[in-house]
Structure 1
Amino acid sequence: MDLSMMKQYIRCIELMREKVPSFAEYPFNLPAIRELRSLPFDPKVTFIVGENGSGKSTILESIAVAYGFNAEGGTRNFNFSSRATHSELNNYIRIVKGTKRPRDGFFLRAESFYNFATNVDELGPDLINYYGGRPLHEQSHGESFFAVLQNRFQGEGVYILDEPEAALSPSRQMTMLARMHELVQEGAQFIIATHSPIIMAYPGAVIYQIGDGLERVDYEDTEHYQVMQAFMKNRQKMLSVLLE
């Protein structure tokens, strides 16, 4: 076994298939989960990509909750809840950890970021200082989302991000890549669900694409890259087909 894998924070997840009540019921009937046995992660950056409703956020959320994060985001110290909507998948997966323990960690998800920001602002200025010193709700969605990346993420940590592109412009997504790289060089491990061809372009990352199951693919073979490339190269032709 590669010793570097032993030292990473999260080596893989395993679905405890013998405990699953029925593969005909949600979320176990989703193709990505129905065929899941073990999913290894890169020590640096792993992406999970797929269509809406394919199960990528469900898998990511289960990893975060099983690892000890709050289902709506934040560090392990956050325990707020506005509405419990996460699946029970976290009860059926086993996280295989490496020998190295992280000093930091965060679950950042676009879907419930408003609730997270409200909780931070309500907890007062001492906590707000960790997020750049400016109340998150006094900033735009994108500004406050990026403030967390820029100020709260500290390296040597596990960072689980669910569709961060929802809050970020294309230029901010590129800035996010640069910030990710700084953190990776400081010992961070990222697991990210995304639709963004910009974000998933991080060099050397492992990419899993959800189709009939979870398949490891090269960046250029992702459906997201191919669709965007085809649209940009043949914009007028594709628009005429779409809008006729």
Structure 2
Amino acid sequence: MIYLNSFRFPSETMEINFTTDIRRTCYDSFYPFNILSRYEFERIDLAPITILYGGNGSGKTTALNIIAEKTGIKRDSIFNKTNFYNDYLEMCFMEIERDIPENSRIITSDDVFDYMLNIRNLNEGIDLKRDELLDEYMDTKYSKFMLKSLDDYEQLKKVNSARRKTQSRFVRDSLMDNVRELSNGENAFRYFTEKIGEDGFFILDEPENSLSPKRQVELVRFIEDSARFFGCQFLISTHSPFLLAIKNAKIYDLDSNPVEVKKWTELENVRTYYEFFKRFEDEF
């Protein structure tokens, strides 16, 4: 499925014309200007699955954030913005094949990490409340309580409840269970499967973070199926050879100047993996 057909970033000439007028000011950063143009990255034509590949500082995340802001899709985590961000967005142009669905979103590493931390903090809060209820049970059950007025009625019900129930039953009836505890990788994978629904445009910024190789392979299968059968379009930044090998993905190499579309087997990162395992082939 194609929702976003193409996207154009400002050319180097457009950026120079804009920044020349403001260079005499006190600003020392014009981000996101002068990031993508230095690699002559001016246009991206999207497939059902499009991947941006490149080393740190190549502009992958910048490009994803710009496209996410211009398309207006949902996002959770904040990101780096400057005074010139809106000026840059006004210079960008996009061609829409179909209306971008409302459930479309960008998913970043920060989103996944926050999700895992929230689960951990929730369980820690439940554990703390459990300890408090255990103490409350003992104090309530063996207290010398006497009903003096209707104001004491709620406390009377609590005392009677504690005296009728075992300690464990008292706590279970008063407290929700812990959220099922999974590994970080399992929680990260679950986050993607919960947030990526049918018929949507999804931007994933280095989704391999926190995922083991096995989980990355599962995510690849999930992405391929979502694009093929469930009306989804993906724009992904990654270093992972597992994600780079996604079937029929269109890959832009941001390490080349100018930026080029390449096969995954031509990428430097993948070649490094290949040469490493080839050197130790006899040990497998």
Query: What range is the shorter-chain TM-score in?
Result: 0.7 to 0.9
Q: Which amino acid aligns with 1:172?
A: R
Separation in 2, partners of 1:175, 1:39: 27
Q: Which amino acid aligns with 2:8?
A: E
Check whether the contact 2:73–2:102 (CA below 8 A) recurs between aligned residues. Answer: no
> Do structure 1's residue 162 and structure 2's residue 209 form an aligned pair?
no
1:110 is matched with: 109
Check whether the contact 2:188–2:210 (CA below 8 A) recurs between aligned residues. Answer: yes
Check whether the contact 1:47–1:207 (CA below 8 A) recurs between aligned residues. Answer: yes
Paired-residue identity, %: 25
1:61 is matched with: 65
> Do structure 1's residue 231 and structure 2's residue 276 form an aligned pair?
yes
- 1:115 is displaced (CA, Å) by 3.9
Deviations 1:75-103 (A, max 9, x none): xxxxx64xx52462545422221134435
Match of 1:215 among 260, 271, 278: 260
Output aligned runs, 1:1-244, within 5 Å: 8-17=2-11, 20=15, 21-22=18-19, 25-30=30-35, 35-42=40-47, 44-70=48-74, 73-74=75-76, 81=78, 84-86=79-81, 88=85, 89-102=88-101, 104-115=103-114, 139-184=182-227, 185-210=229-254, 211-235=256-280
Check whether the contact 1:102–1:158 (CA below 8 A) recurs between aligned residues. Answer: yes
Task: Name the TM-score, length of structure 1 as normaliser.
Answer: 0.73
| Pair 1:222–1:192, CA change in 2 (3 A) | same
- 1:219 is displaced (CA, Å) by 1.4
Separation in 1, partners of 2:179, 2:6: 36
Q: Which amino acid aligns with 2:257?
A: D
1:3 is matched with: none
- Figure out how many residues of one structure are paired with residues of the other and give that number: 209
| Pair 1:31–1:151, CA change in 2 (3 A) | closer
Q: For structure 1, which runs of at least 5 residues remain unmatched after alignment? A: 1-6, 75-79, 123-133, 237-244
Q: By percentage of residues, which structure has more strand?
A: 1
Which structure's relative contact order is higher, taking Cα pairs within 8 Å and 6+ residues apart?
2
Separation in 1, partners of 2:207, 2:60: 13
Q: Which amino acid aligns with 2:7?
A: I
Check whether the contact 1:103–1:156 (CA below 8 A) recurs between aligned residues. Answer: no
| Pair 1:100–1:224, CA change in 2 (3 A) | same
Q: By percentage of residues, which structure has more helix?
A: 2
Check whether the contact 1:149–1:179 (CA below 8 A) recurs between aligned residues. Answer: no
Q: Which amino acid aligns with 2:98?
A: T
- 1:121 is displaced (CA, Å) by 10
Task: Name the TM-score, length of structure 2 as normaliser.
Answer: 0.64
| Pair 1:217–1:223, CA change in 2 (3 A) | same
- 1:39 is displaced (CA, Å) by 1.1
| Pair 1:231–1:38, CA change in 2 (3 A) | same
Check whether the contact 2:39–2:257 (CA below 8 A) recurs between aligned residues. Answer: no
- 1:38 is displaced (CA, Å) by 1.8
Moved more, 188-197 or 141-150: 141-150
- 1:150 is displaced (CA, Å) by 1.7
Indicate the SS of the match to 1:164. coil
C-alpha RMSD of matched pairs (Å): 3.1
Indicate the SS of the match to 1:104. coil
Q: For structure 2, which runs of at least 5 residues remain unmatched after alignment? A: 21-28, 122-177
Indicate the SS of the match to 2:189. helix
Q: Which amino acid aligns with 1:158?
A: F
- 1:25 is displaced (CA, Å) by 5.0
Q: Which amino acid aligns with 2:55?
A: E
Q: Which of the two has higher C-alpha Rg?
A: 2
